[in-house]
């Protein structure tokens, strides 16, 4: 007995009925989603605190407000985004109407991870609903508190003939993926290399893509990887340390776009370590474990994996861990070799290794010898250095003297490249991702004389 078949059948029929197409229906779903966010703000904050020890403030700024803003943006622009887009014509089609129609794909599956479990589930949902699709959400089974709220409360705010939340881990998701969807957006892991010390399912992105390929279903893959952070000698070490520490340790380092490791000269490492120490003390106090602003590791498996990584290089800052509350101190590792496990896999925790290089050229070579990252950061007082780091590398996103603030700009597409993912979303890019861009040419039913010009036989007069 397939637990998903009946629901999926219901959603497909709802889509075929055409009820998700009108702007009014789409707007009603978006408003429902907005109401859910407003009316259950506290419930969501509590779930995020339970799952990740997120403070209410962090839950607001990194999850709830971003989702609310995405809903508001889609509502404000829905009619404009849905409008047929006229395109340039040639001589033969002057009298016709040529345009691109954005039509919904049909049944969309959104698979999401646990690290920003509200944001990474609802942000794509906004785009899929705005584009007029029926949607199945499969939140992460690991962030249990949030999964429960999404499964039990959210459906009350949406049309349940067109929307469903399905639950389960790898096995159930594997079953779900046997079904045919019209589009799949997956956010999760594609490990670059599986560390023997780490457990868990490797290469989930590839599993999803292989399942989609069986039905020729298009996919967006939002994956992770190791995000390099180059720090030039020519910069203010304290300013850089503040920014790197903030973005590395936010959500206890469990952020796909966090700086994963620092590349800098041995001199810069000497200056950076005390500056990072001072930034960490300022942000989280002398005993970071007591700070309400430092998150916890999501579960025992990830805690053990991260604890194993603390043995790499030499601990310069932090290094403490406490199993009872899955606490890992904000940590900096120095003298790290690129062959060590901490440099072989995405860290996804509050650990920052520093690898020394002699020059910008060596740093760029180090980066380019690896898979293209989701994000790349470069810090320097010299705009030339930042621009070189930008011009001579590739990544999904780039921050010059900056962390992942680009996530707050809806004017920017978000996504990876190569092993860090494919496809883009956020704002109008989400609407476009979840729409089939249909090329349409509507010609006059008469005026056949014009068409006679390109019908055979191609006589000398026609060729001239
Ligand atoms: P994950 O791949 O383990 O899980 C993501 C989803 O896939 C979950 O819903 C899970 O139930 C499902 N899943 C897990 N194993 C599966 C399997 N074998 N078959 C089918 N489905 C399976 O990822 P995660 O641990 O929840 O999230 C962390 C990863 O996600 C990190 O690598 C991080 O970089 C990445 N990430 C990327 C982005 C981005 O926007 N690019 C954002 C957040 C996280």
Query: Cα–Cα distance between 434 and 413 in angstroms, integer?
Result: 14
Residue 13: which pLDDT band, with cuts at 50, 70 and 90? very high
What's the number of CA atoms in the CB half-sphere (13 Å) around residue 461?
A: 5
For 149-156, the CB contacts below 8 A with 24+ separation are 149/40, 149/43, 149/44, 149/47, 150/117, 150/118, 150/121, 153/36, 153/40, 153/43, 154/33, 154/36, 156/36
Average pLDDT over residues 417-423: 95
Q: Are 333 and 354 in contact (CB under 8 A)?
A: yes
Cβ–ligand 1 distance for 120 under 6 Å, the answer: yes
Is pLDDT larger for residue 461 or for residue 94?
94
Query: Cα–Cα distance between 260 and 274 in angstroms, integer?
Result: 19
Query: Cα–Cα distance between 32 and 27 in angstroms, integer?
Result: 8
Q: What is the pLDDT of residues 431-443, one digit of tens each?
A: 999 999 999 999 9
How many degrees, rounded to 5, is the angle at CA 222 between CA 370 and CA 125? Answer: 170
Cβ–ligand 1 distance for 170 under 6 Å, the answer: yes
Average pLDDT over residues 38-54: 97
Distance from residue 84's CA to the centre of ligand 1 (Å)? 35
pLDDT for residue 254 = 97
Tokens representing 268?
Answer: 């810069």
Residue 296: which pLDDT band, with cuts at 50, 70 and 90? very high
**Residue whose C-alpha is closest to residue 192's, from 157, 239, 228, 234:** 228
pLDDT for residue 463 = 79
Cβ–ligand 1 distance for 421 under 6 Å, the answer: yes
What is this structure's pTM? Answer: 0.95
Residue 447 has pLDDT above 80, yes or no: yes
Ligand 1 pocket test: pick from 51, 110, 113, 297 the residue with the most ligand atoms within 8 Å of its Cβ.
113
pLDDT for residue 191 = 61
pLDDT for residue 179 = 98
Q: What is the pLDDT of residues 63-79, one digit of tens each?
A: 999 999 999 999 999 99
Average pLDDT over residues 394-422: 96
Query: Cα–Cα distance between 65 and 88 in angstroms, integer?
Result: 39
Distance from residue 172's CA to the centre of ligand 1 (Å)? 14
pLDDT for residue 195 = 44
pLDDT for residue 87 = 98
Residue 201 has pLDDT above 60, yes or no: no
Task: Match 């469903």 to its residue by tokens.
Answer: 164
- Residue 256 catalytic? yes
Cβ–ligand 1 distance for 115 under 6 Å, the answer: yes
Q: What average pLDDT does the chain have?
A: 95
Report the atom number in ligand 1 closest to the C-alpha of 208: 20
Annotated catalytic residue, options 256, 312, 345, 346? 256
Tokens representing 8?
Answer: 């999926």
Residue 193 has pLDDT above 90, yes or no: no
Residue 449: which pLDDT band, with cuts at 50, 70 and 90? confident
């Amino acid at each position: 007995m397939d637990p998903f078949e009946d629901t999926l059948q219901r959603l497909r029929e709802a889509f075929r009925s055409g009820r998700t197409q009108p702007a009014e229906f789409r707007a009603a779903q978006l408003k429902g989603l907005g109401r859910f966010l407003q009316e259950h703000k506290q419930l969501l904050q509590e779930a995020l605190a339970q799952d990740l020890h997120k403070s209410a403030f962090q839950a607001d700024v990194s999850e709830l407000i971003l989702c609310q803003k995405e809903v508001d943006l889609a509502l404000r622009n829905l009619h404009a985004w849905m409008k047929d887009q006229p395109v340039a014509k040639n001589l033969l089609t002057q009298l016709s109407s040529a345009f691109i129609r954005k039509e919904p794909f049909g049944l969309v599956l959104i698979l999401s991870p646990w690290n920003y479990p509200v944001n990474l589930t609802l942000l794509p949902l906004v785009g899929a609903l705005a584009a007029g699709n029926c949607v199945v959400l499969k939140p992460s089974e690991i962030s249990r508190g949030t999964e429960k709220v999404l499964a039990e409360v959210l459906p009350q705010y949406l049309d349940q003939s067109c929307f469903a939340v399905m639950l389960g881990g790898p096995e159930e998701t594997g079953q779900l993926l046997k079904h045919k969807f019209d589009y799949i957006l997956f956010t999760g892991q594609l490990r670059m290399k599986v560390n023997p010390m780490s457990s868990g399912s490797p290469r989930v992105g590839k599993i999803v893509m292989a399942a989609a390929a069986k039905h020729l279903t298009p996919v967006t893959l939002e994956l992770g990887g190791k995000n390099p952070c180059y720090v030039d000698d020519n910069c203010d070490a304290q300013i850089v340390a503040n920014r790197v520490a903030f973005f590395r340790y936010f959500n206890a380092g469990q952020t796909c776009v966090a700086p994963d490791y620092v590349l800098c000269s041995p001199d810069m490492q000497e200056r950076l370590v005390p500056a990072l120490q001072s930034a960490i003390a300022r942000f989280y106090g002398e005993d970071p474990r007591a700070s309400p602003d430092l998150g916890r590791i999501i579960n025992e498996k990830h805690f053990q994996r991260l604890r194993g990584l603390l043995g790499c290089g030499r601990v310069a800052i932090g290094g403490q861990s406490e199993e009872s509350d899955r606490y890992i101190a904000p940590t900096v590792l120095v003298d790290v070799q690129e062959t060590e496990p901490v440099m072989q896999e995405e860290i996804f925790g509050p650990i920052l290794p520093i690898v020394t290089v002699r020059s910008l050229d060596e740093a760029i070579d180090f980066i380019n010898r690896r898979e293209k990252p989701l994000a790349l950061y470069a810090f320097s007082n010299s705009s030339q250095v930042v621009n070189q780091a930008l011009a001579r590398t590739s990544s999904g996103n780039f921050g010059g003297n900056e962390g992942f603030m680009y996530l707050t700009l809806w004017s920017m597409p978000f996504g990876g490249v190569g092993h860090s993912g494919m496809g883009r979303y956020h704002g109008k890019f989400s609407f476009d991702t979840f729409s089939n861009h249909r090329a349409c040419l509507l010609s006059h039913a008469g005026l056949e004389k014009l068409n006679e010009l390109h019908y055979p036989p191609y006589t000398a007069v026609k060729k001239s």
